[in-house]
Amino acid sequence: MRISTHWIYQRGVKPITDHLSKLGRVQEEISSGQKILKPADDPNNSARLMELHKQVQINEQYGRNIIIANSRLAAEETAVRESGNLLQRVRELTIQANNAALNDENREIIATEIGELRSQLLDIANTRDGDGAYVFAGFLEQTIPFTVSDGEVVYNGDQGQRWLQVGPSRQVAVGDHGEGVFMNIRKGNEQLLTKANVRNTGNAEINDGSIIDPTEFQNNFLGHEYRIEFNNNGSNITFDIIEVTNGVDNPAPLLSNQSYVSGQPINFRGMQVVISHPGADPEDMPQDGDAFTVKAAQNLSIFKVLDNLVTTLETPSQTSVEDAIMTEALANALNDIDQSMRNLNLAQGRIGSRMNALDAQDDVNQNFNLQLKTLQSDIGAVDYADAATRLNEELLALQASQQSFAKIQGLSLFDYLR
């Protein structure tokens, strides 16, 4: 066999290049912390690592969504809480105004303060979040939600509600539209609105009423107003139920000459009310001409509640009838304020529930993320002790190859012929 110098050099250099390549790979593993440097190294585990990396990225996006949702909900929660505090002050002023010792000038001062509070409420309702979007505008978050037109506050947003994905199967609402929070305040018991005529001379009272037949109520009651009018001839008390359409009494009563019994339910058109008087004194009973109205509860905005209250307080009260009208108006305003506060409390409760849900989901996401990264480490992370051992082995092998090559390439037949 013919052995050439070229062949000798090839055989000597190859182990050196092989060990250099292996040494370079070990060094790259140590520097990157990964034992799979390219898919060809381990196709199966490489595919698993790619999928795990994708899951980690998705999970991290859920975390960013939670931060965004918490920020938005915090802005809404602050606005709703401040609105509630503002209405609490209005409530205190309303109770203060319903004092017989106050005169028209005193009530005018109270009306001025409530007007200022109404302006503050409008500013709160137009709150922006950290990104400059209006919190209560629905999907139209770049449109100012509440403006004043002809003295009335109008809503310019829509009924949209944004949701964010905060987990693989979990979405959370990140806001409420302003119409639901500030505009749709149901009067009365949210189904019916009942009240006594301010000119009643007896002491009978009517309860809030209730719906006993929803279908009948929907088909025949809604859209109408009813007046229960009493007849008292001194020995017998009866009542008529008169249907009122668009402010006009229907020609014939719905029910007529019904016997009155204190505390006995009165049923008609799918609903029920109870009228009663406190004692046996004839003056406590419904008097001739006393009347009570019953109608479906209507929506009212918080701004309108305050506007009506200001109007009531600015109206002079000089006679006993005017005093009675103001007393009733202030009582109705107090009830409307309570309904408004209840609506805000419900909104605040929803916000708190969502924020609690976000905290719980964030814990779940972080635990899942830890599991994913642990699995990534188990599959793809380098074992530094093993890598260090292999590094030393390759260094020794490389040194041996280099020394061997140095000795072999220096040999020649002429060395033996001297």
Residue among 292, 369, 301, 360 at smallest CA distance from 336: 301
Question: Mean pLDDT in the chain?
Answer: 82
Q: Which of 368, 385, 412 is the last residue of a domain?
A: 368
Other beta carbons less than 10 A from residue 110's beta carbon: 19
Residues 144 and 63 both lie in one domain = yes
Residues 200 and 174 both lie in one domain = no
From CA 283, how far away is CA 232, in angstroms rounded?
A: 11
Residues 234 and 293 both lie in one domain = yes
Q: What pLDDT score was predicted for residue 387?
A: 55
Residues 246 and 208 both lie in one domain = yes
> Could you tell me the maximum CA-CA distance found in the chain, to the nearest angstrom?
157
Residue 273 in domain:
yes
From CA 194, how far away is CA 184, in angstroms rounded?
A: 19
Residues 63 and 182 both lie in one domain = yes
Which domain, by its residues, includes 247?
192-297
- Structural domain tally of the chain? 2
Residues 238 and 134 both lie in one domain = no
Q: Which of 274, 297, 320 is the last residue of a domain?
A: 297
More confident residue, 300 or 408: 300
Residue 2 in domain:
no
Determine the residue type at 207: N
Please write the tens of the pLDDT for every residue from 126-167. Answer: 999 988 899 999 999 999 999 999 889 999 999 999 899 998
- Section 317-344 average pLDDT: 86
- Section 6-28 average pLDDT: 58
Residues 177 and 204 both lie in one domain = no
Q: Which of 234, 265, 297 is the last residue of a domain?
A: 297
In this structure, what token pair is assigned to residue 95? 């109770």
CB 365 within 8 A of CB 169: no
Residues 196 and 181 both lie in one domain = no
Residue 45 in domain:
no
CB 167 within 8 A of CB 66: no
Residues 355 and 284 both lie in one domain = no
Residues 204 and 235 both lie in one domain = yes
Residue 346 in domain:
yes
Residues 170 and 71 both lie in one domain = yes
Other beta carbons less than 10 A from residue 372's beta carbon: 18
Residue 126 in domain:
yes
Q: Which residue has 């938005």 as its token pair?
A: 72
| Domain containing residue 153: CATH number | 1.20.1330.10
Query: What is the radius of gyration, based on Cα positions, of the chain?
Result: 41
Please write the tens of the pLDDT for every residue from 71-119. Answer: 999 999 999 999 999 999 999 999 999 888 888 899 999 999 999 999 9
From CA 389, how far away is CA 26, in angstroms rounded?
A: 10
What percentage of the chain exceeds 70 in pLDDT?
A: 77
Residue 394 in domain:
no
pLDDT bracket for residue 22 (50, 70, 90):
low
Label each residue of the chain as H, E or C.
CCCCHHHHHHHHHHHHHHHHHHHHHHHHHHHHCECCCCHHHCHHHHHHHHHHHHHHHHHHHHHHHHHHHHHHHHHHHHHHHHHHHHHHHHHHHHHHHCCCCCCHHHHHHHHHHHHHHHHHHHHHHCCECCCCCECCCCCCCCCCCEEEECCEEEECCCCCCCEEEEECCEEEECCCCHHHHHHCEECCCCCEEEEECCCCCCCCEECCCEECCHHHHHHHHCCCEEEEEEEECCCCEEEEEEEEECCEECCCCCEEEEECCCCCEEEECCEEEEEECCCCCHHHCCCCCCEEEEEECCEECHHHHHHHHHHHHHCCCCCHHHHHHHHHHHHHHHHHHHHHHHHHHHHHHHHHHHHHHHHHHHHHHHHHHHHHHHHHHHHHECCHHHHHHHHHHHHHHHHHHHHHHHHHCCCCHHHCCC
Whole-model pTM: value is 0.70
* The total number of residues written for the chain in this structure: 418
Please write the tens of the pLDDT for every residue from 344-362. Answer: 999 999 999 999 999 999 9
Residues 236 and 170 both lie in one domain = no
Is the pLDDT assigned to residue 1 strictly greater than 50?
Answer: no
CA torsion 329-330-336-340 (nearest 10°) is 150
Residue 332 in domain:
no
Is the pLDDT assigned to residue 391 strictly greater than 90?
Answer: no
